């Protein structure tokens, strides 16, 4: 219950399935969550992760309100269905801009405040940051970038005493708007959702609260010796 006592954690994409579960889990663990999204979540801040000005404003506000930042969860993201042949350049750029540029900007602008007292970053990557997906080309590329960006940030953060740790969480498909959106773009959404669950060895989709629990662990001091790592939370999908 007190894993995150006295810790202040900024969460992006906090109106989404995983982001809102992370906000709830941070608060349940005794921490203070700064919830951010494109439109203002209750008690939170507006933050467009693709905008440098937006990041500078949110971090300055966090410093004014709390005087510190102990954690950052980069949860904002979008998916776009399409193979290499079907993905147009505008879609590619939009996905890369939110998923990869947004995570880069978050790490960059939160870092100076995080390193004042040491801290932890959790980036939402995906199993598709670890293995390929033929029909989510831009998404797969963006998450591959997030997973390796995570290692670079982690190695830099390890130079500080106390350190800034940085890890990537890599879920398989999780119940929520993102998977609904992927399935709704197909001819038979119900069958597609069943197939996604069937392909997972544990036979079901993940739950946002399960991903949030892993994020809380990685933000906490219990994970003090963990940095630069990818954490699949995928019901065994990448074990094959």
Ligand X SMILES: NC(=O)c1ccc[n+]([C@@H]2O[C@H](COP(=O)([O-])OP(=O)(O)OC[C@H]3O[C@@H](n4cnc5c(N)ncnc54)[C@H](O)[C@@H]3O)[C@@H](O)[C@H]2O)c1
The correct pick among 31, 82, 171, 235 for binding ligand X (CB under 6 A) is 171
What mask of x and - would describe binding to ligand X in positions 45 to 84, judged by CB under 6 A? --xxxx------------------------xxxx------
Backbone torsions φ then ψ of 115, nearest 5 degrees: -80, -10
Is 148 or 224 the residue whose CB approaches ligand X more closely?
Answer: 148
The three-class DSSP label of residue 219 is helix
18 binding ligand X? (CB under 6 A) = yes
Backbone phi, then psi, for 186, in 5-degree steps?
-110, 175
CA dihedral in degrees (215, 91, 107, 23; nearest 10)? -30
Residues 6+ apart with CB under 8 A from 213: 25
29 vs 183, beta carbon nearer ligand X: 183
Shortest distance, position 219 Cβ to ligand X, whole Å = 16
Q: Of 41 and 163, which has the nearer Cβ to ligand X?
A: 41
**Which residue, 16 or 157, has its beta carbon nearer to ligand X?**
16
Q: Is 139 tagged catalytic?
A: yes
Query: Cα separation of 13 and 17, whole Å?
Result: 9
Q: What is the dihedral of CA 13, 154, 50, 170, to 10 degrees?
A: -40
Shortest CB 37 distance to ligand X, Å: 5
Quick note: the x/- pattern for ligand X over 100-139, rule CB under 6 A, is: --x---------------------x-x-------------
Decide if residue 15 touches ligand X (CB under 6 A).
yes
Q: Output the smallest distance, CB 119 to ligand X, in A.
A: 20
| Catalytic residue selected from 109, 139, 160, 217 | 139
Q: Report the side by side order of strands in the sheet with 230-233.
A: 45-46, 32-37, 8-11, 71-74, 119-124, 164-171, 230-233
174 binds ligand X (CB under 6 A): yes
Quickly count: other Cβ atoms within 10 Å of residue 233's Cβ: 17
Applying CB under 6 A, the residues found at the interface with ligand X are 12-13, 15-19, 37-38, 47-50, 75-78, 98, 102, 124, 126, 171, 173-174, 176-179
Catalytic residue positions, numbered = 139
């Amino acid at each position: 219950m007190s894993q995150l006592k006295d810790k202040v954690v900024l969460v992006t994409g906090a109106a989404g399935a995983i982001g809102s579960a992370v906000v709830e889990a941070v608060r349940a663990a005794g921490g203070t969550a700064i919830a951010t999204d494109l439109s203002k979540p209750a008690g939170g801040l507006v933050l467009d992760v693709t905008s440098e000005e937006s990041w500078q404003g949110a971090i300055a506000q966090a410093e004014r309100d709390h005087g510190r930042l102990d954690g950052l969860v980069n949860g904002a993201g979008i998916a776009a269905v399409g193979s290499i042949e079907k993905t147009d350049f505008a879609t590619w750029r939009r996905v890369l801009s939110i998923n990869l540029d947004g995570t880069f900007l978050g790490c960059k602008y939160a870092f100076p405040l995080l390193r004042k007292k040491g801290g932890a970053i959790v980036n939402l990557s995906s199993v598709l940051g670890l293995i390929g997906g033929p029909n989510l080309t831009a998404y797969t590329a963006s998450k591959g970038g997030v997973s390796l960006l995570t290692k670079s940030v982690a190695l830099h953060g390890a130079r500080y005493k106390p350190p800034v740790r940085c890890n990537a969480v890599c879920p398989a498909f999780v119940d929520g708007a993102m998977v609904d959106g992927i399935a709704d773009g197909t001819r038979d959404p119900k069958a597609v959702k069943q197939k996604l669950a069937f392909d997972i060895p544990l036979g079901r989709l993940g739950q946002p609260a399960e991903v949030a629990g892993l994020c809380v662990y990685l933000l906490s001091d219990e994970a003090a010796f963990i940095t630069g790592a990818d954490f699949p939370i995928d019901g065994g999908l990448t074990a094959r």
